[in-house]
């Protein structure tokens, strides 16, 4: 991994005083933990589209699919101004080489999920998406995106960060102009990670790689990328992880003693029953993989999808 991963972020989450009231919404997990691995590119659509700090609060009004951005008291409509800004900004973001975006929840500009939209009854429905967040998702449908609030949920956080690191590796593969051989290596190294998310996608991607000589490179990589990100969006459940753990054990079960095998099976079973987190069986497995130098497993991204220091598998 050369340098930090470039990630867009709602500017107020970094502690920048860009909010309507002149304050910020610094998120310590982002600034104190993720910042060690991610190089954040701050974006405040409201300030960057020309609105002042402080400013009147705004909300989404009308149809949830095509809401208007209106100030709460004076009713000033900023929709066109924001849409003009978004069109320009999402294009400009292409030069930033982002591998993810973290949005501020509930914002009519930056919120990603369940943003309030006020209908004619005056009653809000949590069905909307901030205008800028919508523009980013439309322009970059494969980009991993999340809200800071959801990053405080351990399984969602692990899933998002795993996806960011994997997408970043994929982007590096694309940037290095990898050919068939490199795609085969990428696919082989990610097999167990894909299996933990979706065995169905793993088979489909295997077929894509096997038949790759018969399709254009552009077609192949487009389809492969779509499957990769679709697979990673599916949750790696305890049941699917247990299946992968047994599969891994199959690679060295003849090398370890029957006592060691019983101990590992017992630990996998404890994980299956949610008595211990995923990091427990994986620590023992990593020990055997290193001890017996099992090359296929040593290269598997599943055994190290993100830095250990983030401790993401201590809570899932
Ligand atoms: S939520 Fe978005 S628009 Fe609002 S202050 Fe933060 S970055 Fe700016």
Residue whose CA lies nearest to ligand 1 atom number 4: 19
Ligand 1 site, residue 45, Cβ cutoff 6 A:
yes
The conformation of residue 216, written as its DSSP 8-state character, comes to -
Ligand 1 site, residue 312, Cβ cutoff 6 A:
no
pLDDT of residue 216: 92
Per-residue pLDDT of the chain (316 residues; tens, 9 = 90+): 458 999 999 999 999 999 999 999 999 999 999 999 999 999 999 999 999 999 999 999 999 999 999 999 999 999 999 999 999 999 999 999 999 999 999 999 999 999 999 998 888 999 999 999 999 999 999 999 999 999 999 999 999 999 999 999 999 999 999 888 999 999 999 999 999 999 999 999 999 999 988 889 999 999 999 999 999 999 999 999 999 999 999 999 999 999 999 999 999 999 999 999 999 999 999 999 999 999 999 999 999 999 999 999 999 9
pTM above 0.85, yes or no: yes
Q: How far is the CA of 305 from the centre of ligand 1 (A)?
A: 31
pLDDT of residue 178: 85
Q: Where are the domains of the chain?
A: 5-57+73-114+128-151, 154-233, 244-309
CA 116 to the chain's CA centroid: 24
Q: How far is the CA of 177 from the centre of ligand 1 (A)?
A: 36
Residues 6 or more apart in contact with residue 131 via CB below 8 angstroms: 45, 60, 67, 69, 79, 82, 83, 86, 108, 109
Q: Which ligand 1 atom lies nearest to the CA of residue 42? A: 7
Angle, CA of 240, 244 and 247, to the nearest 5°? 140
pLDDT of residue 25: 98
User: Candidates 46, 85, 145: which one to mutate for ligand 1, based on the most atoms within 8 Å of Cβ?
Assistant: 46
Ligand 1 site, residue 40, Cβ cutoff 6 A:
no
Q: What is the CATH number of domain 5-57+73-114+128-151?
A: 3.40.50
Residue whose CA lies nearest to ligand 1 atom number 2: 110
pLDDT of residue 1: 46
């Amino acid at each position: 991994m050369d340098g930090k991963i470039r990630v867009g972020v709602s500017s107020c989450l970094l502690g920048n005083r860009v909010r309507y009231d002149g304050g910020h919404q610094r998120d310590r997990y982002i600034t104190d933990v993720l910042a060690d691995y991610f190089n954040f590119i701050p974006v405040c659509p409201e300030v960057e589209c020309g609105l002042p700090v402080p400013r009147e609060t705004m909300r989404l009004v009308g149809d949830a699919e095509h809401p208007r951005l209106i100030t709460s008291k004076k009713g000033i409509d900023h929709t066109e101004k924001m849409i003009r800004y978004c069109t320009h900004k999402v294009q400009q973001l292409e030069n930033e080489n982002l591998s993810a975006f973290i949005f501020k929840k509930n914002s009519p500009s930056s919120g990603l999920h369940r943003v309030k939209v006020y209908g004619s009854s005056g009653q809000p429905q949590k069905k909307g998406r901030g205008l800028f967040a919508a523009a980013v998702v439309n322009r970059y449908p494969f980009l991993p995106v999340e809200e800071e609030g959801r990053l405080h949920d351990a399984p969602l956080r692990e899933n998002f960060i795993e996806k960011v690191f994997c997408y970043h590796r994929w982007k590096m593969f694309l940037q290095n102009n990898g050919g068939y051989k490199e795609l085969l290596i990428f696919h082989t190294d990610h097999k167990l990670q894909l299996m933990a998310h979706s065995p169905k996608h793993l088979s489909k991607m295997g077929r894509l790689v096997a038949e790759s000589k018969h399709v254009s490179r552009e077609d192949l990589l487009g389809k492969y990328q779509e499957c990769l990100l679709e697979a990673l969006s599916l949750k790696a459940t305890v049941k699917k992880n247990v299946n992968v753990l047994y599969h891994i054990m199959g690679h060295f079960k003849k090398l370890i003693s029957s006592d060691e095998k019983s101990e590992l099976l017992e630990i996998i079973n404890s994980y299956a029953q949610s008595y211990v987190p995923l990091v427990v069986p994986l620590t023992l497995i990593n020990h055997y993989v290193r001890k017996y130098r099992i090359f296929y497993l040593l290269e598997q991204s599943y055994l190290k999808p993100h830095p250990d220091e983030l401790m993401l598998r201590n809570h899932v």
